[in-house]
A and B are shown apart, each in its own frame.
Chain A
Amino acid sequence: MSWSFSHPNTDALAGFASRALAAREERRVARHLESCTECRDTVAVLRAVDDGARDAQPREELLERILASRAAGQRTILPADDATVMTRRRPVARLAGLATAAAVLAIILFKGSREVSAGERTGYLRLDPARPLPGAIVRAAYTPSAFLQGFDSLVLRARFRRPFDEAYNRGPMQQRAAVLHRASSGVFNGEFRLPDSVVFAVFAVESPSGDVVDDNDERLWELLTADEARRPLYEALVQKERDLMGRDWVEGLKTVRTLTALYPEDPEAWSLLSVYERWVLGDRIADSLLTGHHRRFAAFHSELAEREFVPAATILGMVHYAADTTTSRYWLRRLEREFPDDPDVLFRREYQLWQDFGQGRKDPGRYLRDVEPVWARAERIRDPDVSMMVFNALSHAIQTKDTAAIRIWVPRYRRVQRPTPGMATYWGKSLLQYPTLRPVAMAWLREEARLLAEGPDAYRPLNETIAEQHVVNRATAQPVLAELANALIEDGDTAAGLDTLRLAALYGWRPPVFLRVAQTWAALGDTTEALRTYAKVAADPGSAPGFADSIRAATAPKVPNARWTSWVNEAKGQMRRAVLERVSPRSLTGPMRLLSSTGETRGLTELTQDHVTVVAFWSTYCQFSVNDLGALQRMANQFSSSGARVVAIVDHPFSDEVRRILKEQHAEDLPVFYDFRSDAKRAFVTFAWPDYYVLDASGKVVFSHTGLEAIPRQVAALLP
C-alpha cells in the first residue's frame, strides 16, 4: 500500500473505512487522519456508502409481481455465465454533437463496429467488408446472444433497399440473406452476395425455426454501400433515412446530418435536414436554425442559377430547399422545362389536374381524361411519386362513382403499389357497393385473406418472430374476413358468411365483428348464440351508450337476468384477457416538457402520474387527427369518474386557430399541450398524426399506435 505526498490514496482510505487494512497500515492512515480533514471527510463519505440503502427494502408487492410474471409465462435470460467475457462497448451515438463536417466525415469513415458482450440478449454481428461496393460478397460472423447459443445454424435475414424504394418498411421487403453455421469457436459464419441494385441493407439473426430473433435491441444491423474511398453512397444514406422512418426518427436526423456532411454540395440533403430538424427538434430550435439554411440556399442559388445545365435531382433539391416562393417557382419552372418527364413534374401535373377539375367534383370526367397522358408517361418510371398518383386517381374514381374508371385504375394500382396487407379492406369496402365490381372486390379480399393466412416470410418484419407475425396477420385478416363475410351474407350465402365471420371473431376482440355474428345468428333463429355474442358487444366499454339496455329489453322474456349478467361478466373477462395478451409495457425516458395553453411548462410525467392516461398526438395540419378531437373529448368525459385521463398533444403553438378547431370539434375542455421542444415526440417515437398511446398508472406505455375505437377497452383493462 502506498500513497503519494502525505495523503493516503482512495484505496487505502476505502480499506480504512471498511476496517480491512492490516494493523500497521491502519495505524499509518489513522495517524494521517488525525491531522487531515479532507481525508477524514473521504473516510466518512466511504463509510456512508455502506450506510446508504442499509434499510432499503423492496415493496411487499414485488414478490407478487414476480410470481404473476412467471405465471404469465414471462422469462428473463440472466447473464449467469461466469465465463462470460464482458468486452467494452464503444459508444453508439457517435454522431451526436458533431459541429463540423470534417469531424463527421472522420467518424463515418473510420468508426468501428459495435461490440456487445456474449451472453446478453443481443449478440454481435460483424459484416465484412463493413462498407461494401454494390454487388460485393459480404461475409457475416455472428457471436450469439444468450438466446441463440444452442443452435448448429442460424438464419441471417435482411431487408435490402434499392435507390427508389419508398419510405417506411411496409410490404414484402424482407428475405433470407444467408444461413450461418456454427464454428468450433462458437461464432456463426456465412456469406452472401449483395445484389448489384442494393444500396442499403439491415439485418437480424434468428433461429432456424424463426422463434428467437436477435434484432440488436430493435436497432438491427446495417450495411451501407460505399464508393472506392469507403464513403457511403448518397443513395445508401437516403435509403437508410427512409428505412428509419417510423422506427427511429432521431437516428434518421443523424443520418441526414451525415448526408449533409458527406455531400454538402447537394441541396436535397440540406432540404431533408431542415425538415428533420423541425420534426425532431421542434419549432423553436428549427426556427433558430433557419438563418443558416437561408444563407446556404442563397449561396446555392447564386451559383447554380448561372449554370446552363443542372441535374434534375439538384433542381428538385432547390425546389424543396427554397426559402421563398419566388425562388421555389424559378427552380420548379426550370425542372418542368428541362425535365418534363421527371416523376415530381408528372406528380405535380396530376395534382394540378385534381385541383382544377377533381377537387369539389368540378369536372371529374375532365380530370380522368387529362390524367391519362400523364399516367402514360409516369407508369414506366419506378418512383414513389407514381404510387401516390395512382392512389389519387383510384380514390377520385371511387369518390365520383365512375365504375368504368375504377375498372381501369384498380389493375394499375395493384401493378404499381407495393402490396401492403390491410389495404384490400379499404378498397374492397368501396368496390363492394357496385354490383358490377363485387367480383373484383371479392377476389381482392379473398386473395388478401389467403395471403395473410399463408403469411409469406417476405412480409415478416426483421424484428418479429414467426409466432408474433402470425398474431399480427390474424389481426390484419380480421376486417378482411369480416368484409368478405358480409358480402357473402348479402349475396345470400349465409352459411359460408357465418363460418367466415366466426373465423374472424376468433382473431381478436372486435365488437363490430361480434355484432355482425350476433345479427346473423339472430337471423338464423338461434337466439341463445345471438345473445351470447351480443353480450360481448355489451361488455365492451366502447359500445354505444344504451346498447346493452336495448338488447336486454328486447330479449328479457327469453333469457333470465342472471344468465345475461353472467354472459356479460364472462365477456368482460374475455375482453380483458384478449386486450392484455402479449402487451409489453415500456418506460418513457428523457425530459418531456410541454407547454400549457396558459404558457406554463409542465412535465408529461406530472400529468400522467398515478392515472391511466390516453396520450393523443394531433396536428392542426392533419384533418384526420382534428376529426378525432370530439371523440377524445367524449372519452375524457366518460373516463373522468374512473380517474383515467386524456392528454392531447399538439405540434403547433397555441393560437386562435387551435382554439377555433377545439371549439368546432366540441373539444374545448380537452387538456391540450404544445410539444414545444418535440420532447414527447422523441420519447414516444412518433412523428405522425393522429397517434394514440395508453399509459398505465405507473406511466409505462402499454398500448402504442392504438386505434381510437380500441381505447375505451384498453383503458378499462388497465383500471383496477
Chain B
Amino acid sequence: MISPDSTEESQLIRRVAAGSSDALAAFYRLHAASLFRLARRMTSSVEDAEDVVHDLFVGLPESIQKYDGRGSFQGWIKRVLVRLVLMHHRAARRRREVGLEEEVSTPSPPQTVDDGVRWDMQRAMETLPDDLRAVLVLRQAEQYTHREIAALLGITPGASRVRLSRAVKLLKTALRGRT
C-alpha cells in the first residue's frame, strides 16, 4: 500500500505523467474513493460524480505536471476536482438556461425526517442549488476556509459565509419536509 504524499507517490506521479496506464490505475485505486466522495457530495447524482472523476483521471497524465510540489498533492488534486465540478455545473446551467418562463423545472421532492431519526442527507443535499451546495461541502466536509472557498468560486469571503448560512437554512427546511 502506498501512502499518499510519500516518496512512492512521487514516483507514481512521474509514471502517471509519463503516460503509464498501470500507474494511472494504481493512482486511481489510491485516490478515487476520496475524490469520488467529494464529487458525489458536490453533484446531484452518482452519474454526474462519476463523469467528473472520469474526466479528472482522463486528463490527469497531461495535467499532473502542473503540480509544483508546493502543498500536499491530495489538496492540489482536490482543488482540481472542485474546479472541474464547477465547470460541469456551469455547463449544465448553460444547458438549462432556456430562458422560457414556462419551463421552470420541477424541483426534487423535499425529503422528510425518516422515522424521526435518520435523515436522507444525500437526497436533501441534491435539492440545494449548486452554488450553495459547493460552499457547504467545501466548508463543512472539506474544511476549507472561507478565503479558500472564495478564491475557488470567484466570490468574496463574505459571500461564502452568506451562502453557507443559506445552504444550512435550506437544508434544514428540506429535511423537515417544508418547501
Q: Is B50 an interface residue (CB 8 A)?
A: yes
CB closest residue in chain A, given B118: A48
Q: Is A81 an interface residue (CB 8 A)?
A: yes
Query: Which listed residue, A76, A91, A96, A121, touches B98 by the CB 8 Å rule?
Result: A96
The answer to whether B55 and A76 have CB atoms under 8 Å apart is yes
The answer to whether B100 and A96 have CB atoms under 8 Å apart is yes
Query: Which A residues lie within 8 Å of B47 (CB)?
Result: 698
The answer to whether A63 and B25 have CB atoms under 8 Å apart is yes
CB closest residue in chain B, given A84: B83
Q: How does the 8 Å CB contact mask read for A535-549 relative to B, with 1 for contact and 0 for none?
A: 000000000000000
Nearest chain B CB to A319 CB, angstrom units: 28
The answer to whether B152 and A590 have CB atoms under 8 Å apart is no
Query: Which B residues lie within 8 Å of A182 (CB)?
Result: none
Q: Is B11 an interface residue (CB 8 A)?
A: no
Taken together as a complex, chains A and B put the C-alpha atoms of A48 and B59 apart, in Å, by 32
Q: Is A54 an interface residue (CB 8 A)?
A: yes
Query: Which listed residue, B21, B36, B99, touches A96 by the CB 8 Å rule?
Result: B99
Query: Which listed residue, B46, B80, B103, B155, touches A78 by the CB 8 Å rule?
Result: B80
The answer to whether A93 and B58 have CB atoms under 8 Å apart is no
Query: Which listed residue, A49, A75, A93, A254, touches B141 by the CB 8 Å rule?
Result: A49
Q: Is B172 an interface residue (CB 8 A)?
A: yes
In the complex, identify which listed stretch (A64-72, A490-498, A576-584) lies at the interface while the others stay far away.
Answer: A64-72
The answer to whether A45 and B172 have CB atoms under 8 Å apart is yes
Q: Is A167 an interface residue (CB 8 A)?
A: no
Taken together as a complex, chains A and B put the C-alpha atoms of A88 and B37 apart, in Å, by 26
Q: Is A42 an interface residue (CB 8 A)?
A: yes
- With A20-B143, A53-B41, A80-B66: A86-B154 Cβ-Cβ less than 8 Å: yes
Count contacts on B: residues with CB < 8 A to the other chain.
74
- With A18-B143, A76-B56, A95-B99: A48-B62 Cβ-Cβ less than 8 Å: no
Count contacts on A: residues with CB < 8 A to the other chain.
68
Taken together as a complex, chains A and B put the C-alpha atoms of A80 and B75 apart, in Å, by 12
- Most A CB atoms within 10 A — which of B36, B59, B67? B59
Query: Which A residues lie within 8 Å of B86 (CB)?
Result: 86
Query: Which B residues lie within 8 Å of A677 (CB)?
Result: 102
In the complex, identify which listed stretch (A8-16, A291-299, A341-349, A500-508) lies at the interface while the others stay far away.
Answer: A8-16
- With A42-B168, A217-B94: A56-B37 Cβ-Cβ less than 8 Å: yes
The answer to whether B79 and A65 have CB atoms under 8 Å apart is no
Taken together as a complex, chains A and B put the C-alpha atoms of A70 and B23 apart, in Å, by 13
The answer to whether A59 and B50 have CB atoms under 8 Å apart is yes
Taken together as a complex, chains A and B put the C-alpha atoms of A95 and B62 apart, in Å, by 39
Query: Which B residues lie within 8 Å of A591 (CB)?
Result: 103, 105-106
Q: Is A117 an interface residue (CB 8 A)?
A: yes
Nearest chain B CB to A53 CB, angstrom units: 4
The answer to whether B79 and A10 have CB atoms under 8 Å apart is no
The residues in B between 98 and 141 inclusive whose CB is less than 8 angstroms from any CB of A are 98-103, 105-106, 119, 121-122, 125, 136-137, 139-141
Write 22 A-B pairs (CB below 8 A) sorted by A numbering: A11-B146, A11-B164, A14-B139, A20-B143, A41-B172, A45-B171, A46-B140, A49-B125, A52-B141, A57-B36, A58-B53, A62-B53, A63-B32, A66-B58, A76-B59, A78-B56, A78-B80, A80-B63, A82-B66, A82-B76, A86-B83, A92-B94
Which residues on B are within 8 Å of A, measured CB to CB?
A: 21, 24-25, 28-29, 32-33, 36-37, 40-41, 46-47, 49-50, 53-64, 66-67, 76, 79-80, 83-84, 86-87, 90-92, 94-103, 105-106, 119, 121-122, 125, 136-137, 139-141, 143, 146, 151-155, 161, 164-165, 168, 171-172, 175
Which residues on A are within 8 Å of B, measured CB to CB?
A: 9-11, 13-14, 17-18, 20, 41-42, 45-46, 48-54, 56-59, 62-63, 65-67, 69-71, 74-82, 84-89, 91-93, 95-97, 117, 120-121, 217, 250, 253-254, 280-281, 285, 589-591, 677, 682, 698
